Structure 1
Amino acid sequence: KRQEMVHYYAEKMRIDEEVLWEEVRRIRKLQRVRRGKKKDQIQVALAQKTQASFAERSRPVEEELIRIMLIYWDAVSFVFSFMEVSDFFNEDLQLIAAVLFEFYTNQVRPEPEELIHYFTDAQIAEFVSRVVLSEAQQAGITQDYRRWAADCLAKLQRLMLDLKIEEVREQLKLREASGGDPSEFLEAWRNLQDQRRRIRAENFLPDLAG
């Protein structure tokens, strides 16, 4: 049908049919580019939305991990056996984690006052000071820091998977809306859900897992 239309308009406009076909191809290419840009914009907006959601939900958990490491020095090696400094999403907490990791890798156990002086930002310094000078005194030695940290690590891992699940869910909706085959996203969604169900604090405590 398109061929008939091109032939008709080429005759009507008295131009070479190939010239008109070239224009049709140019327009179709432009439309594909525009659709691609729109899809990219949707993906960027989706990523920003999910990252903002993750940042909001993960901060209390990350803060708890930092608190544990500030109170129990032995917890530093435990936490960093599962995480890297860059895994902390919040920039302020990542800065504290970086300082703790630096002390840990240099095999230096800082005094509380020494640790506080490493931070020039007022809010960060206030948080560190409150934890090491007040909360640490109240914590005592009865708290099982490994179990406490493991609970946080499990929560953080679930939140990370929630982020991926949300992204896949949105991609699934887009694929269905465009009339495409959503099977790959359905499979990915099921796999992520299955992974999430298997996350337990005991996974970070080999002596208790099983």
Structure 2
Amino acid sequence: MEKTKIVLATGNAGKVKEMADVLSQFGFDVVAQSEFGIESPEETGLTFVENALIKARFAAKMTGLPAIADDSGLSVVALGGEPGLYSARYAGEQASDADNRQKLLAKMQGQENRLAKFVSCIVFLKHETDPTPYIALGECFGEILTEERGENGFGYDSLFFYPPKACTFAELETKEKKAISHRAIALEQLKQQLAGENK
């Protein structure tokens, strides 16, 4: 049986592989939007769900294919949910992961409450105007350290201490992190939704 092509609204190769592993089980062939020469639209939403929908609808519109997108970020309790929607550009539009981590460390200086969570929202559209998209939300709870630890991962992983494993996300092997991360939880939710429809 020929697989249905689905466009993933990202150019991130890691995300493409992660999503492809799950979606291939349901007969989907995942193609990154970069393969169609599509740039991501401006993220003007006020929530992770809204931003994921903006990205997915844009990719579906540009390709005429079903689309999937995720929007994720770090939410720190003591900072009122920052960096939140701005996690990737916390220290500015052209900021590197290291710049963003330095800004977070500076803002967390002297804070006793170090609780935080990673959030991932994944949306799946059958077509651009799909009125009932699948929406899956994953959360992973931990704490922000006062200094970086670990060499793996990306983003804020080296500052995010995950109590069940007693280490940071950056100290976990990639395979281990993929099994427990916020994106893994959201993907598992999406998998259940798709499986429910295919019964």
Structure whose CA Rg is larger: 1
Bigger strand fraction: 2
Shorter-chain TM band: under 0.3
TM-score by length of 1: 0.25
Bigger helix fraction: 1
The one of the two structures with greater contact order (alpha-carbon pairs below 8 A, sep at least 6) is 1
